[in-house]
Amino acid sequence: MASNTVRLHRVLRAPPERIYRAFLDASAVVKWLPPNGFTCTVHELDAKVGGRYRMSFKNFTAGHGHSFGGEYLELVPNERLRYTGVFDDEHLPGAMQTTVELRAVFFGAEMTVVQEGIPEIIPVEACYLGWQESLALLAKLVEAEIQQ
């Protein structure tokens, strides 16, 4: 794993459009993005190129948390998202960039996630673990086939 970069790959039993929407719908984001033990509040989510988002994660047990935000750099419907992420905490400097690519496959969608520029203070393995937990929750959300 490259320094300060996390790479993940999944195949989900859901169409790319459902996964894409889960990244840009505030009510979906709060359900799947925070890793185990955290809650999420979305303060702003303007899902367009140049649009911004702001959110915060809170440790449910300890009660402390962190907030962050960024800008959408690229949005190709159902195929690709690229956005920045900056923590409000001065001890977590720098700007991260996350790229999500989606491709339709026989059973649903292949997804790759690359997050670059993770602050030095955050162990890359912890970030990787958090993403794995989040993507497991994403799968539960987007793979559900609920009849109306």
Domains of the chain: which residue ranges? 5-143
Model confidence at 90, pLDDT cuts 50, 70, 90, reads confident
Average the pLDDT over 79-102 and give the result: 92
State the pLDDT confidence band at 1, using cuts at 50, 70 and 90. very low
* Residue 34 and residue 57 in contact, taking contact as beta carbons nearer than 8 Å: yes
Q: Is 123 exposed, middle or buried (0-12, 13-18, 19+ CB in 10 A)?
A: exposed
* pLDDT for the residue 10: 97
> What integer pLDDT is reported at residue 147 of this predicted model?
73
Residue 19, phi then psi, degrees to nearest 5: -70, -45
The answer to whether 77 and 16 are in contact (CB under 8 A) is no
Residue 3 has pLDDT above 80, yes or no: no
Does pLDDT of 54 surpass 80?
A: yes
Query: Does the pLDDT value for residue 18 go beyond 60?
Result: yes
Mean pLDDT of 72-93: 93
Q: Which CATH class is domain 5-143?
A: alpha beta
Q: Which of 53, 3, 67, 40 is nearest to 138 (CA)?
A: 40
> Who contacts 133 (Cβ-Cβ below 8 Å, separation ≥6)?
35, 36
What per-residue confidence (pLDDT) applies to 44? 97
Which residues make Cβ contacts (< 8 Å) with residue 21, sequence separation at least 6? 28
Question: What confidence tens digit (pLDDT) does each residue in 98-124 have?
Answer: 999 999 999 999 999 999 999 888 899
Per-residue pLDDT at 89? 86
